[in-house]
Chains A and B, each alone.
Chain A
Amino acid sequence: MLKMIPAIIMTAMLSQNFILVQFLGICPFLGVSKNIKNAFGMGLAVTVVMFIATLITYPLYTYLLKPLGFDYMEIIVFIFVIASLVQVIEIILKKTSKPLYEAMGIYLPLITTNCAVLGVTELVLTSELVTGLFDACCYGLFGGLGFTLAIVLMSGMREKLDTTRVPRPLEGFPITMLLACFMAMAFSMF
């Protein structure tokens, strides 16, 4: 079981990077990557939710839904778990840690509809690398860190982009995607 951990870390973070290779969570990647501080906050919030969501949905599916024959309900159950999880985290943060809430709070509502979170809960059910709960949580955690890595790198480049002139039709999304295109080339080398 532990032998697979390095393989999972490499796969989840780099070679199957959620944003640049699997294209999950592109909306926040394009939307919240205007400056490094916000990108880092978003990345951390996504990492936390991805980790806890896998921790809950994986046992829920393997020990409850599947044996009882309710596996066709997985999408509804998973999205319900994620939505309530995000709410709970928001409430806990608000009560316990003011600075952390200010750093992460505004991104939390956006995470419910983040493909990367629902994506990781679905992926660990079919991935060959994942054999148990520990593996699944590792996949969630390092997938989230890979997400953070990509979004922070991107925001660094976009801060520079603000001061340069680009051709009219390429302004906004297209030039950002061209940048991401070169990042994706680098990531697919792993």
Chain B
Amino acid sequence: MKAKDIALNGLFRQNPTLKLVLGTCPTLALTTLAMNGIGMGLAVTFVLTCSNIIISLLRNVIPSKVRIPAYILIIATFVTVIRMVLNKFLPDIAASLGTYLPLIVVNCIILGRAEAFASKNPVLASCLDGIFMGLGFMAALTLMGAFREFFGSGTLFGLKVMDFSIGFFVQPAGALFTYAVFIALYSLIFMAVTNRKKAPKTQTAPTTEKEVNGNA
């Protein structure tokens, strides 16, 4: 598989948050602030990349019967590492992520990628997959966080930009509402993009007709 394909899959075509709808718990709980999206995104990217590399290296060693416990232990190790690092060097971010930091262990994205990608692909591809899936997760979380922070608290990355705010958006119900809107928007864009790609291949006559109309 080409690097470009892996990158596009992670960021857009197979976006873990908007297309696969995995790892929903931190997505809903932490998007009250855009900054949380970046913190959580980076932590997940680190864990996902490291665990993908190790699992890909061990893919011929781990017996398939005990693979899930083995994957979980590998993931838990890296989560412990990132938790200790954040507690020591970035205590503010660690505090704002709260219980969701240890819960990266049971984040479906990481186990999902281990099962669907790292256990079948070579190391380099798995590493790239981890990085781009993580970045896709981070992008979605940061966008949602910015949206909720903007409307819910009138700020953006902590800076005041608006004089009024709608409390609904920072409440739990607002999280579900925002997520629903984002998935709906994503599938609209996705449908538009895939339709445009398919159109010239399957229909030759209408394309020329459109060109004629355009010229006229």
Contact = CB atoms under 8 A, between A and B. Distances in A.
Interface of A: 20-27, 30, 72-76, 79-80, 83, 112-115, 117-119, 122-123, 126, 168-170, 173-175, 177-178, 180-182, 184-185, 187-188
Interface stretch (B130-138, B174-182, B203-211): B174-182
B124 interface: no
A27 B22 contact: yes
B155 to A, nearest CB: 22
B123 to A, nearest CB: 24
B172 A23 contact: yes
Contact of A23 (B29, B72, B79, B191): B29
B105 A118 contact: yes
Interface of B: 21-22, 24-26, 28-29, 68-69, 72-73, 76-77, 79-80, 83-84, 99, 102-103, 105-108, 111, 171-177, 179-181, 183-185, 187-188, 191
Given A76-B76, A113-B111, A169 B187 contact: yes
A169 B180 CA distance: 10
Nearest to B175: A23
Of A114, A175, A185, chain B has the most CB atoms within 10 Å of the CB of A185
A188 B172 CA distance: 8
A79 B24 contact: no
Nearest 3 A/B pairs, CB to CB: A181-B176, A177-B180, A184-B173
A75 B102 contact: yes
B102 A118 contact: yes
B83 A76 contact: no
A129 to B, nearest CB: 15
A72 B105 CA distance: 14
Contacts, number: 115
B80 A75 contact: yes
Contact of A119 (B22, B99, B187): B99
B172 A122 contact: no
B100 to A, nearest CB: 9
A114 to B, nearest CB: 7
B102 A181 contact: no
Given A118-B102, A119-B103, A123-B99, A23 B24 contact: yes
Contacts of A114: 106
A21 B73 contact: no
Given A25-B25, A184-B172, A113 B108 contact: yes
Contacts of A169: 184-185, 187-188, 191
A113 B106 contact: yes
Contact of A112 (B68, B99, B180, B181): B68
A23 B28 CA distance: 6
A12 B79 CA distance: 26
Contact of B73 (A23, A80, A115, A170): A80
